[in-house]
Structure 1
Amino acid sequence: MKKSIVFIFTVFLLGSCAVFTPRQEFQQGMSERKFLRQNRDAVMSNMEGPFITYRVNRGERFYILATFENKELIKIEEREISPAWMPAQPSENKE
Structure 2
Amino acid sequence: MRKVLTGYAISFNRRHGRHGYLYQNRYKSILCQEDEYLLELVRYIHLNPVKAGVVKSFGKLDRYRWSGHSVLVGCRRRTWQDRDEILFPFWFKEAGSCEAVSEVH
- What TM-score, normalized by structure 2, do the two folds share? 0.26
Higher alpha-carbon Rg: 1
The structure carrying a bigger helix percent of its residues is 2
Structure number with the bigger relative contact order (C-alpha 8 A, sep ≥ 6) is: 1
- What TM-score, normalized by structure 1, do the two folds share? 0.27
